[in-house]
Structure 1
Amino acid sequence: MDSVNLEVLKASVRWIGRGHRVLLVTVVKTWGSSPRPEGAMLAICDDGSVVGSVSGGCIEDDLIDRVRRLGIERTRPEALKYGISADEAHRFGLPCGGTIELVLEPLTRASGIDELCRRVEAGQLVTRALDMASGAARLLPAHATDGLEFDGRRLLTVHGPRYRLLVIGAGQLSRYLCTIAVGLDYQVTVCDPREGYTDEWHVPGTTLVRTMPDDTVLEMKLDERCAVIALTHDPKLDDLALMEALKTPAFYVGALGSRRNNAARRERLETYFDLNEMELARLHGPIGVYIGSRTPPEIAVSILAELTAVKNGVALPGEFRVEGAKAALDIAADRQTSCAVALRH
Structure 2
Amino acid sequence: MQQLDLQVIEQALKWSDEGQDVWLCTVLATFGSSPREPGSWLVATADGRHAGSLSGGCVEEDFLARLRDGVFSEPVSQLRYGEPDGPDGPRVRLPCGGLLDVLIERLSPGQPTRDHLVQLQQALTGHQPLLRRVSLDGTAAELHSDNGLGPRVESGPKGYWKLRVGPAARLIIAGISPVSEACAQFAQALGFEVIVCDPREEVLTDFSLPGITVKPILPSQYIADGHCHEATAIVALTHDPRIDDLAMMEAVRTGAFYIGVMGSMKTSRARAERLQRIGGLDEQQIARIHMPIGLNLGSKTPAEIALAVMADIVRVRKGTPRHEV
Structure (1 or 2) with the larger CA radius of gyration: 1
Q: Which amino acid aligns with 1:308?
A: V
Contact 1:165–1:227 at 8 Å: present in 2 too? yes
Q: Which amino acid aligns with 2:39?
A: E
**Residue 82 of structure 1, CA deviation:** 2.5
Residue 314, structure 1, aligned to residue 320, structure 2? yes
Q: Following the alignment from structure 2 to structure 1, what is the Cα–Cα distance between the partners of residues 78 and 230? A: 35
Choose 299-308 or 172-181, whichever is displaced more. Answer: 172-181
TM-score of the pair, normalised by structure 2: 0.62
Contact 1:255–1:287 at 8 Å: present in 2 too? yes
Contact 2:199–2:218 at 8 Å: present in 1 too? yes
- Structure 2 CA distance for partners of 1:276 and 1:154, relative to 1, 3 Å: closer
| 1:172-204, Cα deviation, whole Å (9 max, x unpaired) | 221221122123222221110111111122112
Q: Following the alignment from structure 1 to structure 2, what is the Cα–Cα distance between the partners of residues 153 and 290? A: 46
**Aligned counterpart in structure 1 of residue 248 of structure 2, from 242, 246, 252:** 242
Counterpart of 1:28 in structure 2 is 26
**Residue 295 of structure 1, CA deviation:** 2.2
- Structure 2 CA distance for partners of 1:147 and 1:173, relative to 1, 3 Å: same
Residue identity (%): 30
Q: Following the alignment from structure 2 to structure 1, what is the Cα–Cα distance between the partners of residues 196 and 234? A: 10
Q: Following the alignment from structure 2 to structure 1, what is the Cα–Cα distance between the partners of residues 71 and 186? A: 35
**Aligned counterpart in structure 2 of residue 82 of structure 1, from 79, 90, 109:** 79
**What is the RMSD of the two structures over their aligned residues, measured on CA atoms?**
4.5
**Residue 158 of structure 1, CA deviation:** 10
Secondary structure of the structure 2 residue equivalent to 1:222? coil
Counterpart of 2:122 in structure 1 is 142
Contact 1:223–1:250 at 8 Å: present in 2 too? yes
Counterpart of 2:294 in structure 1 is 288
Q: Which amino acid aligns with 2:247?
A: A
Aligned pairs (5 A) from 1:215-254: 215-254=221-260
Counterpart of 2:170 in structure 1 is 164
**Aligned counterpart in structure 2 of residue 258 of structure 1, from 248, 264, 270:** 264
Q: Following the alignment from structure 2 to structure 1, what is the Cα–Cα distance between the partners of residues 53 and 186? A: 19
Q: How many residues align?
A: 261
Q: Which amino acid aligns with 1:201?
A: F
**Residue 218 of structure 1, CA deviation:** 0.6
Secondary structure of the structure 2 residue equivalent to 1:257? coil
- Structure 2 CA distance for partners of 1:28 and 1:63, relative to 1, 3 Å: closer
TM-score of the pair, normalised by structure 1: 0.59
**Residue 269 of structure 1, CA deviation:** 0.6
| 1:142-173, Cα deviation, whole Å (9 max, x unpaired) | 22414678898999999995222210112222
| 1:306-333, Cα deviation, whole Å (9 max, x unpaired) | 0011111111129x6xxxxxxxxxxxxx
Query: Where does the alignment leave 5 or more consecutive residues of structure 1 unmatched?
Result: 10-24, 44-50, 105-129, 321-345
Contact 1:38–1:148 at 8 Å: present in 2 too? no
Q: Which amino acid aligns with 1:82?
A: L
**Residue 280 of structure 1, CA deviation:** 0.5
| 1:270-326, Cα deviation, whole Å (9 max, x unpaired) | 1111111111111101111222322222221111000011111111129x6xxxxxx
- Structure 2 CA distance for partners of 1:200 and 1:220, relative to 1, 3 Å: farther
Counterpart of 1:200 in structure 2 is 206
Counterpart of 2:19 in structure 1 is none
| Between structures 1 and 2, the one with greater helix share | 1
Secondary structure of the structure 2 residue equivalent to 1:233? coil
Q: Following the alignment from structure 1 to structure 2, what is the Cα–Cα distance between the partners of residues 76 and 236? A: 64
Q: Relative contact order: is structure 1 or structure 2 higher (C-alpha 8 Å, sep ≥ 6)?
A: 2
Secondary structure of the structure 2 residue equivalent to 1:188? strand
Residue 100, structure 1, aligned to residue 102, structure 2? yes
